[in-house]
Amino acid sequence: MLDELRGWGLESPPILADAAYGDITEFRSGLDERELRYVLQVKGQTSAYAEGVRPATPDYRGTGRPPRPCYREKPSSLRELALAEGAEQAVEVSWREGSDGEPLSSRFLLLRVRPANVKLRRQAKDSELPVRWLICEWPQGQAEPAKYWLSNLPEDAEPERLVALAKLRWRIEHDYRELKDCLGLDHFEGRSYQGWHHHVTLVSVAHAFLTLERRNPKVPAAT
C-alpha cells in the first residue's frame, strides 16, 4: 500500500503501528529502506545496544582471513536500557488536549539506542547499527516503563513531536470504531468478494467525507 501511494506521487506521513507490527524486523527495515519515517510500538524485550556501543575488530593473528568488525557485547533489552538510565531521567510531556479541556500528559524517557537483534546485526555486516529513538512511557511512581516505541525520526526531533506521534494511535482506534459503529463496516452480510469490496469502498468514502467535514473550518463544531 505504501509503495502504491508513492506511485501516485504522494508521500506518506510518519507511519504508526502497534507492537504487532513494530516488533517485526522486516517491517521496520522495509520502512527504513523506503526512507519512511515511523514511530512504532515495540515490546520491552526487543534487543538493542546503547548508542555508544560500537563494533570492534579483533586483533589479526597473521594467519587466515583478517577479522571483520563485529559487536562483541551481548545486546540488552529495551527494558534493561531504560532501567539503567533510571526514572529520574524521565520528563513530563503533554501531547494533546483531553475531552475535559485539560492537557493529557505523562512522564517519558527518551533515549538514543541501536536496535540489535540477530537479523539487524547480519544486515549491518561491517557497518555500525543505525541509531534510533527509544520512547518509554514511565508513569509517575511506577517501577518501570509501561510502553515502548522505536522511531527513526531525526536526532533533533522535539520530545513533544515524538510523544504526540507515539500517542496518535488513539485516533486510528477511534476511526476504526467509527467505521464499525457509525458507518456499518461490520454490517455486511453478503457472500461475495465483489460485494464486500463495494461495501468497504462505500464505507471508506463516507468516512473520508466526514473527516473532511470535521477538518473544514467553515463547518460549525458538533455540540
**Per residue in 8-21, pLDDT tens?**
888 888 999 999 99
Claim to verify: residue 29 and residue 87 sit in the same structural domain? yes
Query: Which span out of 8-22, 68-82, 133-147 was modeled with the highest average pLDDT?
Result: 133-147
d(CA 189, CA 167): 34
41 shares its domain with 87:
yes
**Which residue(s) pair with 134 in the sheet?**
111, 150
Q: Are 82 and 124 in the same domain?
A: yes
Examine the domain organization and report whether 21 and 110 are in the same domain: yes
pLDDT tens readout for residues 145-186 = 999 999 999 999 999 999 999 999 777 777 878 888 888 888
For residue 11, count CB atoms less than 10 angstroms from its CB and return exposed for 0-12, middle for 13-18, buried for 19 or more: exposed
- Whether 208 maps to a domain, the answer reads yes
Give the range of the structural domain holding residue 188, as residue numbers without chain letter.
Answer: 175-215
CA atoms within 13 A on the CB side of 161: 13
Instruction: Quickly state the pLDDT bin for 219 (edges 50, 70, 90).
Output: low
DSSP 115: E
In a domain, 59, yes or no: no
Q: Is 188 a member of any domain?
A: yes
Q: 197 and 144: one domain?
A: no
Kindly report the backbone phi and psi dihedral angles of residue 120, in degrees, each rounded to the nearest multiple of 5, phi listed first. Answer: -70, -40
Whether the CB-CB separation of 32 and 93 falls below 8 Å is answered with no
